[in-house]
């Protein structure tokens, strides 16, 4: 396994709220990707828990979250699926880890373009959550990606431990 390199943008600790939120979101996006750097496709698919949660599946799920909240909900006004309804952890057999990372990076880039059109205080009505601001979507994605980076860190640690034996 090759050593992982951090691709996160420099940490910003002061400035306008939007700049801080976007920086933290981008740092969490990068942190999630960095957890899988150096894994083979086989190891990235290794299941260590009963659910579909694998390192590559966490990246796949993050790409889906980007598309759901920024493209489907924010840009198009569509509904978001109920948790567990969208198959976002399913990685096709023919998908490689590199392809899934690229998919996440593309979805993130599109999310940045879409979000830039809105003010943090702009809101939309969500059928279950009620009034949702752009700020809230940023915070949701920060929470989501930070949690999943932690999940992936633990899975990768377990995978690396098994490989070292």
The one-digit pLDDT tens for each residue of the chain (165 residues) are 334 444 789 999 999 999 999 999 999 999 999 999 999 999 999 999 999 999 999 999 999 999 999 999 998 888 787 766 668 889 999 999 999 999 999 999 999 999 999 999 999 999 888 999 999 999 999 999 999 999 999 999 999 988 887
Pairing of strands 130-133, 123-126: antiparallel
**CB 135, CB 19: distance < 8 Å:** no
Domain 17-164 CATH (choose: 1.25.10.10, 3.40.50.150, 1.20.120.450, 3.50.50.60): 1.20.120.450
Indicate the helix (H) or strand (E) that contains 155: helix 134-164
The structural domains of the chain, with segments of one domain joined by +, span 17-164
Residue 100, phi then psi, degrees to nearest 5: -70, -40
């Amino acid at each position: 396994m090759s050593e992982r390199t951090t691709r996160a943008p420099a940490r910003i600790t002061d400035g306008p709220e939007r700049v801080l939120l976007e920086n933290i979101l981008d740092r969490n996006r990068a942190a999630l990707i960095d957890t899988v750097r150096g894994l083979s496709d086989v190891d990235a698919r290794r299941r260590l828990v009963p659910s579909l949660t694998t390192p590559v599946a966490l990246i796949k799920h993050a790409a889906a979250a980007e598309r759901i909240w920024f493209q489907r909900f924010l840009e198009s006004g569509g509904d978001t699926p109920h948790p567990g309804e969208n198959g976002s952890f399913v990685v096709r057999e023919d998908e490689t880890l590199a392809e899934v990372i690229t998919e996440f990076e593309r979805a993130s880039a599109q999310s940045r373009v879409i979000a830039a059109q809105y003010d943090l205080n702009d809101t939309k009505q969500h059928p279950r959550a009620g009034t949702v601001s752009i700020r809230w979507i940023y915070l949701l994605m920060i929470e989501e990606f930070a949690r999943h980076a932690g999940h992936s860190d633990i899975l990768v640690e377990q995978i690396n431990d098994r490989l070292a034996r």
